[in-house]
């Protein structure tokens, strides 16, 4: 804001500071790896979203464990991994697609239930930040 209170611009600190790696992993790890090759034709939108989200969590955990081989995550990063995930993943475009694909009230409920699961489940990311594991 300038002296008169008018908007002047935005400063985005998204990739500044020690949280850079954690932010990058949460945003990019799920898309680093390819399709599982499993058929999704018979899945409801909610089932598809759950499968995709479970895969995303798996890849995030793997990326955290690989990074932990060389990078020393701070206590703050370990504490903030799950809250950061909860800020990013439940609102991700894949969950929006699930809602867009909903054809019945049950589909809508399943999509919202999946978003709630992502907001409440403990995915134990901190334990993955201590060392490596095989995918």
> pLDDT by residue (tens digit) across 111-127?
889 989 999 999 999 99
pLDDT in tens, 31-46: 776 566 677 778 888 8
Domain-located, residue 113: yes
Domain-located, residue 68: yes
Domain-located, residue 122: yes
At 123 the pLDDT is: 94
The string of DSSP codes covering 15-60 is T-STTHHHHHHHHHHHHHS-------TT--HHHHHHHHHHHHHHHH
Whole-model pTM: value is 0.75
Domain-located, residue 4: no
Domain-located, residue 94: yes
Structural domains of the chain, count: 1
Domain of residue 96: give its range.
Answer: 20-34+42-128
Domain-located, residue 3: no
Report the residue count for the chain. Answer: 135
pLDDT in tens, 8-28: 777 665 555 555 788 888 888
| pLDDT-based confidence at residue 96 (cuts at 50, 70, 90) | confident
Minimal CA–CA distance to 77: which of 86, 62, 94, 64? 64
Residue located via tokens 């907001």? 119
């Amino acid at each position: 804001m300038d002296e008169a209170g008018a908007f002047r611009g935005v400063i985005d600190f998204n990739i500044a500071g020690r949280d850079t790696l954690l932010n990058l992993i949460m945003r990019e790890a799920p898309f680093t790896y390819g399709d599982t090759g499993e058929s999704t034709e018979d899945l409801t939108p909610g089932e598809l979203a759950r499968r995709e989200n479970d895969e995303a969590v798996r890849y995030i955990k793997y990326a955290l464990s690989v990074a932990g081989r060389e990078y020393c995550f701070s206590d703050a990063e370990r504490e903030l991994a799950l809250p950061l995930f909860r800020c990013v993943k439940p609102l991700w475009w894949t969950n929006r697609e699930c809602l867009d694909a909903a054809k019945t009230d049950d589909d809508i409920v399943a999509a919202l239930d999946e978003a709630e699961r992502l907001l409440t489940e403990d995915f134990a990311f901190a334990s993955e930040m201590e060392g490596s594991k095989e995918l």
